[in-house]
Amino acid sequence: MTLIKSISGIRGTIGEGPVGDSLSPVDIVKFTAAYAAQLKEKFPDQKLRVVVGRDARMSGQMVEMIVCGTLISCGVDVIDAGLASTPTTEMAVIFEKANGGIILTASHNPKQWNALKLLNEKGEFLNAEEGGNIVKCAEDETFEFAKVDQLGTLTYKDYTEDHIKAVLDYPLVDVQAIADAKLKVVVDPINSVGSIVVPMLLDELGVDYVVINAEPNGNFEHNPEPIPENLTALSSRVVEEGADMGIAVDPDVDRLAFISENGEPFGEEYTLVAVADYILSHKKGATVSNLSSSRALRDVTEAHGCTYHASAVGELNVSTLMQKESAVIGGEGNGGVIVPDLHYGRDAIIGIALFLTHLAKKKLSMSALRATYPDYYISKNKVELTDKSLIDKILDEVKEKYSEYRVSTYDGVKVDFDADHKWICLRKSNTEPIIRIYCEAHDKESADALANEVIEVINDIVK
């Protein structure tokens, strides 16, 4: 497996290759030391403090020990949050006014993967320049270690209760309304930290719940990405229990998906749509999602008399545009909800609390609530090319073919057919000769037909 290095950190498999080709202990040390070196340049006159948190992956404790030990060896004081969700760790950086944070999680990747996700002093992901400097420092090994009398210290602190309290104190979370609704839910935290934090939240909200895949051991019972094909057991259990809904999170609890009372997926694209609908009904303002997310957010935003903005793909791009546009809500169509006046990170915990408030106040079933939103379907495809040099030509051809429509090129090529409420988006991979094709329309047949139309254009070029 190739070790993946990016501005947000380093990701790879454990024990499946040599140094530099998997996430080995040596690579973990290099990247952690490079991160410490970056912080020293940014805060030259401070005694550095960094928060470290991890999900429940099998390799988590091992990686945690290496990361904490390396930071200490670089003279950094470490606050070890232990088992903590990604949003909990992000908020811990804010709570502690630390210089940064490291989240040990590979998100929805399978159990053999792990990663170091790097945060700045605001608990947000690094920008491109900062991330690039760390990659270069790690590769060149230009970091240094501290003298024995300048080593860092290690303290342990659990921030989960602090995170939950911040969510409960959020003005638009109505604890009483949720408790009065007497909801019953089934939770699938997929054998990770969600099995700790989600039940704690539901206890505070007065919700009756059943948990499946509850042991936080990192031995994921199914593919951990919270998409419909991986949530069949949750769907069945919701119907079996006669529950009002199902709740699914990914291993680090920054993505959120729901199952309706009839066992049907609510749709991960509609997690953000529903939360945004609730927020906008109480607080007017802009919304943001990335350009490959459903148009449904735009429709709901405009129905509230507000303005929608599309960012380039990537959580950092979404949060950056949210700050620029002073958005009141934003996120990604993969079930990622960002509530900016809590923090600028995807957070399933605040997402659950706001959604349950919305559901309780609407006094509707999940399926009835879903029926209030416009129906869209996204067809996702990819074309592999033998000649990577053709990619730019393909993007130019597609741009020309659809030039009579609204075309944007700030992240690949996106064409909006506004009159028909559909769109296509082509993006090239940074690491492989692949073009990813996303097409959305009101139904699967129309979306697939649009995708096939684009694929034919590509085939005409490459044949």
Under CATH, domain 163-370 is a member of which superfamily? Alpha-D-Glucose-1,6-Bisphosphate, subunit A, domain 3 (3.40.120.10)
Output b/e per residue, 387-415; b: 16+ Cβ within 10 A.
eeebbeebbebbbeebeeeebbeebbbbb
Given this model, what pLDDT does residue 1 score? Answer: 54
Residue spans per domain, the chain: 4-158, 163-370, 377-462
Under CATH, domain 377-462 is a member of which superfamily? Alpha-D-phosphohexomutase, C-terminal domain (3.30.310.50)
**Pick the catalytic residue: 8, 22, 107, 260?**
107
Given this model, what pLDDT does residue 461 score? Answer: 84
Given this model, what pLDDT does residue 391 score? Answer: 87
Strands 4-6 and 9-13 turn out to be antiparallel
Closest alpha carbon to 346 in 335, 356, 361:
335
Residue 79's Cβ-count burial label (10 Å; 0-12, 13-18, 19+) is buried
Given this model, what pLDDT does residue 431 score? Answer: 62
CATH topology (fold) of 4-158: Alpha-D-Glucose-1,6-Bisphosphate; Chain A, domain 3 (3.40.120)
Whether 107 sits among the annotated catalytic residues: the reply is yes
Instruction: Tell me the Cα Rg of the chain.
Output: 22
Given this model, what pLDDT does residue 322 score? Answer: 98
Q: Are 428 and 395 in contact (CB under 8 A)?
A: yes
Helix (H, G, I), strand (E, B) or coil at 176: helix
DSSP track, 293-319: S-THHHHHHHHTT--EEEE-SSHHHHH
Does the fold of domain 377-462 match that of domain 4-158? Answer: no
Local confidence pLDDT in tens for the 463 residues of the chain? 578 887 778 999 998 878 878 899 999 999 999 999 999 999 999 999 999 999 999 999 999 999 999 999 999 999 999 999 999 999 999 999 999 999 999 999 999 999 999 999 999 999 989 999 999 999 999 999 999 999 999 999 999 999 999 999 999 999 999 999 999 999 999 999 999 999 999 999 999 999 999 999 999 999 999 999 999 999 999 999 999 999 999 999 999 999 999 999 999 999 999 999 999 999 999 999 999 999 999 999 999 999 999 999 999 999 999 999 999 999 999 999 999 999 999 999 999 999 999 999 999 999 999 999 999 999 999 888 888 788 888 999 999 999 999 999 989 999 999 888 999 999 987 667 789 999 999 999 999 999 999 999 888 887 7
